[in-house]
Copies of this chain bind each other. A is one copy, B any other.
Amino acid sequence: MKALEEKILREGKILNGGSVLRVSSFLNHQIDCDFLTEIGAEIARLFAEDHVTKILTVEASGIALAVAAGAALHVPAVFAKKHKTSNLSGALYQTVVHSFTHNTDYTVTVEREYLCPGDRVLIVDDFLANGKAIEGLLDLIAQAGAEAVGAAIAIEKGFQEGGRTLRARGLRVESLAIIERMDESGITFRH
């Protein structure tokens, strides 16, 4: 999505010598709502033929994008909740996700009534790097007996393994911008 690449080049900041891309001016702290509506419409266009019945994301930074996609596709959005501990209620689907950013494990949960057999679920998230969060969501979808129709990602870090791993297991992954390389001198996108 050319408009997203331009926005990243204009507003993104590369930190920590090229390992972190900060897009908090428009995507995950301050949100450019008009631009978010455009991203939601693009996701809806990509998955228009897939009979999506539900959007699934993880709190907190995925929520805005999930709601924009849900509004454009006219389906509900569910956000999985993060917990520090496991051992929660039996009314939940739950799985453990490893965070490389914080070097810790956390549990993500969805109440059972909001993911159902027969649901055709589109995963939405702001970033894809190592793919562990999305693997966790795929596990929740499988537990529910629902079907994952794909994942729509705003920004994929193409130099990390998540995108390759998820595509190798057969998931359709649509990333609106894929970063091939980034360092303090700039960003190169994959096309």
Contact = CB atoms under 8 A, between A and B. Distances in A.
A31 B67 contact: yes
Interface in A113-166: 113-114
This chain: copies in complex = 2
A79 B66 CA distance: 15
B37 A71 contact: yes
A113 B68 CA distance: 24
A29 B32 CA distance: 23
Interface residues of A, number: 33
Contact of A76 (B33, B60, B76): B33
A24 interface: yes
A12 to B, nearest CB: 14
A55 to B, nearest CB: 8
A81 interface: yes
Contact of A30 (B25, B34, B76): B76
